[in-house]
Amino acid sequence: MKVLFLALPSSLSVQNIATRSELMLNHVKNRDEVFVLKCGGEQPYCYSNFLKNKSICLKCNLLCDSSLDILNIPNKNIFYLNKDISFQDIPKKFRNIKELKEFNIEGINLGFGVASYMISLLREINFDTIEQKDTIYSICKSAVLIYESTLNLLKKIKPDLVYIWNGRFFDSWAALSACKSLGISFRLFESINGFKYNEKKQIIYKYSFIENDLLHSLDPFKRDIFKSWQNKDLNKEIKVEIGKSFFEDKVQRKDMYVFCKDQDLEKLPIGFDFAKKNIVIFNSSIEEYAAFDEWQNSIYLNENEGIEKIVQSLKGNPEIKIYLRVHPHLKNVNSSQIKDLRRIGSLGFENLQIIWPEEKIDSYALLKNCSKILTFGSTMGVEACFWKKTSILVGRAFYEDLNCSYIPKSHEEVIDLIQKDMDPKPQENAVIYGYWANTSGIEYKYFKPEGDLASGTLIGIDIWKNVSLANRLKHKYLVLKDFGFKNIIKIRLNKLKQKFI
């Protein structure tokens, strides 16, 4: 079996290199022939190094080469991006995001990955394509370079399977598009943030992959949730215990990536009136899924429109108070989403209180003390079900088929569900999601994290320390050169100054 791995800078981090190496080693041990397509600094625009710092480019290549050296991948099986690609068919500018998303080369769409990357780079779903035309043009050139290089190599070595990280951004999207054009199977992989549990409830680190589909597609994950619950190797009592721990750990801030870890426990907004019918809306940080059509809201144009219409429709009901908890991940973001929420907040709705990302109000105290929880896809919707709260889902979510939430089909139904009395959905339905969230993925066998996924060893060897001392010293020199001797000395002097103040 021939297997090709894309080693691109978008997977520069240690955990992504380690995950790729883990998968690679599985195939090496299976006696498959492993090939690698890597970047040697040829890209006009780099996902991990858009400022073109030489130190970052060097470290990316050193880490990649070190991992290949540890796995004994022969040089004859390592290929580089083709420098001789023509960029003449790339438009110099796009009128809008829709036109950018439709950008293609000979009928193969590359624009989706460019648009998705730009949304995440700028944290802005409505970015100005004219204002960003130079950056977009450079990114499109990299997408074409990767697409053409991957396509040519696929035709040359004819692999049975290709591994690509993530798939959502311009580089990985271009590579999977090349696979699709030739009908070659691909797997998209990612390390799983935080930790998972095994059947003994021991903390372990995992990664995941999906074959011939996207990591952001709804249907594969919805099927996987049900499939994991049908696991007959464990009795139901153990599965329930593992599923419950997902929700309990979040409330207790044991989850490494819980967004509300900096909030004050049990803190509610000043003047919280327990006599009212309190509704909390948990909005989302929407840029990750903004480019995907299947994640678009079927009732409202966007979340903010939904929030404004809901508040407007309920302003005549003095018994209802709405709290909007803006997602903590939007802290220090000045996107059109935040600007529009500030506009809504300035309209003087007496029935609305907006809790901004930086505020210390406890999200779980709101969930606990409000009678209904409305989300647009946030996991707080399924968490509400677990904590026996009435959950209303106005959007798409991986848990949408679990009967955890009431799912309206129109704005009128949204308002009706908010106003009328309803029992929460069964708690055991949420437990199914919690079990999947805590057990999904594949445990690392060869990569051993040290403290977290940002460092560790591969078959007992530290990937960075495996790099020669000369190259590590060269990297240190380039760091000083890229970021300035004066700046680094200034930072260190400030640290010393603070120490003696």
User: Is 90 exceeded by the pLDDT of residue 460?
Assistant: yes
Q: Is the pLDDT of residue 15 over 70?
A: yes
Single-letter residue type at 50:
F
Instruction: Look at residue 195 in the predicted model and tell me its pLDDT.
Output: 55
Confidence check: pLDDT of 129 > 80: yes
pLDDT of residue 204: 75
Q: Into which CATH architecture does domain 2-192+443-467 fall? A: 3-Layer(aba) Sandwich (3.40)
Considering the chain, what is the average pLDDT of its residues? 91
- Report pLDDT for 425: 98
pLDDT over 70 (residue 413): yes
Name the β-bridge partners of 390.
372
Q: Are 357 and 330 in contact (CB under 8 A)?
A: yes
pLDDT band at 456 (very low <50, low <70, confident <90, very high): confident
Question: How many whole angstroms separate alpha carbon 261 and alpha carbon 450?
Answer: 22
Across the range 356-371, mean pLDDT stands at 96
Maximal C-alpha separation, the chain:
74
pLDDT of residue 501: 44
Long-range CB contacts for residues 481-486, cutoff 8 Å, separation at least 24: 481/54, 481/55, 482/53, 482/54, 482/55, 482/56, 483/53, 483/55
Give the up-direction half-sphere exposure of residue 477: CA atoms within 13 A in the CB hemisphere: 6
pLDDT at 497 over 90: no
Tell which phi-psi region holds residue 263, choosing left (phi > 0), alpha (psi between -120 and 50) or beta.
beta
Residues 211-261: pLDDT tens digits?
999 988 999 999 999 999 998 888 999 999 999 999 998 988 876 556 777
pLDDT confidence of residue 349? 96
Beta-carbon count within 10 A of 200 CB: 8
User: Residue 159 pLDDT more than 90?
Assistant: yes
Identify the pLDDT of residue 487. 66
Which has the higher per-residue pLDDT, 136 or 84?
136
More confident residue, 141 or 84: 141
Tell me the HSE value of 108 on the side-chain side, using a 13 A CA sphere: 20
Measuring CA to CA, which residue among 11, 19, 57, 70 is closest to residue 37?
Answer: 11
* DSSP string over 354-423: EE-TT----HHHHHHH-SEEEESS-THHHHHHHTT-EEEE-S--TTTTSS-SB--SSHHHHHHHHHS--P
Of all residues in the chain, what percent carry a pLDDT higher than 70? 92
* CATH 3.40.50.2000 boundaries in the chain: 250-428
Whole-number pLDDT of residue 230: 92
List the one residue out of 280, 296, 298 whose CA is nearest residue 418. Answer: 280
Per-residue confidence (pLDDT) for residue 276, from 0 to 100 = 96
Give residue 443's region: left, alpha or beta (phi > 0; psi -120 to 50).
beta
Partners of 7 in the β-ladder: 38
The pLDDT tens digits for 267-325 are: 999 999 999 999 999 999 877 778 888 899 999 999 999 999 999 999 999 999 999 99
- pLDDT at residue number 32: 97
In this predicted structure, the answer to whether residue 12 has a pLDDT above a threshold of 50 is yes
pLDDT at 256: 53
Query: Of 243, 241, 265, which Cα lies nearest the Cα of 252?
Result: 265
| Closest by Cα among 155, 49, 39, 12 to 478 | 49
CATH code reported for the domain at 250-428:
3.40.50.2000
Residue pair 391/375 in contact (Cβ under 8 Å)? The answer is yes
CA distance 87 to 77: 27
For residue 333, pLDDT beyond 70: yes
